[in-house]
Chains A and B, each alone.
Chain A
Amino acid sequence: MEESTFDPDLIHAIFKLEWTRRSLEREKNESSDAMDCEVDAGTSKKSRPMSANANALKLSSKLLQIFVSEAVQRAATIAEAEGISRIEATHLERILPQLLLDF
């Protein structure tokens, strides 16, 4: 069975969306600083498009896959210690603080 993982293209799309959102936000801040100018924040072009290379995206997908796997494995360990074969929300709650510190 093939190991399930995130599609690097999907990760790229999410990254690009976030970068565009951030650059729009920056533009908005800049244009509100220069209030005396005409208000055309929406029409100005993106000044600095960020991109990512293929290996970086594959690596990011891997990182996110590790994140999800770790969350499940750690919760599974807690559930197992309690003698329950089903991972419940309480198990996730137990491992969450350390998980978030580790990533």
Chain B
Amino acid sequence: METGMEEDDSTAELLRDRFRLSAISIAEAEAKRSGMEISVPVMTCVAELAFKYTKQLAKDLELFAHHGGRKSVNTEDVILSAHRNEHLAASLSSFCHELKTKEPQSERKRKKAPKKEDKSAIHITDA
């Protein structure tokens, strides 16, 4: 049982590291797009936040699917998890719609306008 736990720990660490790398590359790309430099501690911190958010999301999705009497998470559960933020939920459902309409094609790059006027509101303009 203990060896099993160790294996779990090492796979967990591997996954976390892979996740961090992706998060850091996203953060770097995003900073470059807005013409800014970004310091390493900020990226690490954002990556860690995103990882914790992922685990929370896993819990939410499990509970939502379970509540719906399902053993599988579907797209509605994901949209539901963002329901507190209307803009985010709308953006996710339009992305979901995109996924459904052109299944075989790779996802189209969504235009995200880096608007500067409202920093507290979410920036994604949905269609």
Binding site for B on A (CB under 8 A): 1, 3-7, 10-11, 13-15, 17-19, 21-22, 42, 48-53, 55-56, 58-60, 62-80, 85-89, 91-92, 95, 98, 102-103
Contact = CB atoms under 8 A, between A and B. Distances in A.
Interface in B55-89: 55, 57-59, 61-62, 65-66, 71-75, 77-79, 81-82, 84-85, 88
Given A14-B58, A68-B26, A62 B92 contact: yes
17 contacts: A1-B29, A6-B19, A11-B54, A14-B51, A22-B59, A51-B71, A52-B73, A53-B75, A56-B73, A59-B92, A59-B96, A73-B30, A75-B42, A76-B31, A80-B116, A89-B42, A102-B85
A68 B36 contact: no
B116 A77 contact: yes
A64 to B, nearest CB: 6
Given A50-B71, A55-B75, A89-B41, A63 B46 contact: no
Contacts, number: 186
Given A64-B50, A102-B85, A4 B26 contact: yes
Contacts of A63: 57, 78, 81-82, 88, 92
B25 to A, nearest CB: 5
B37 to A, nearest CB: 4
A22 B124 contact: no
B117 to A, nearest CB: 9
B22 interface: yes
B105 interface: no
A19 B30 contact: no
A88 B31 CA distance: 12
Interface string B31-42: 100111111011
Given A17-B12, A52-B61, A4 B25 contact: yes
Given A42-B4, A77-B116, A15 B58 contact: yes
Nearest to A59: B78
- Which of B54, B74, B88 neighbours the largest number of chain A CB atoms within 10 Å of its CB? B54
- Closest 5 pairs between A and B when the two form their complex, measured CB to CB: A52-B73, A18-B58, A72-B30, A86-B37, A42-B1
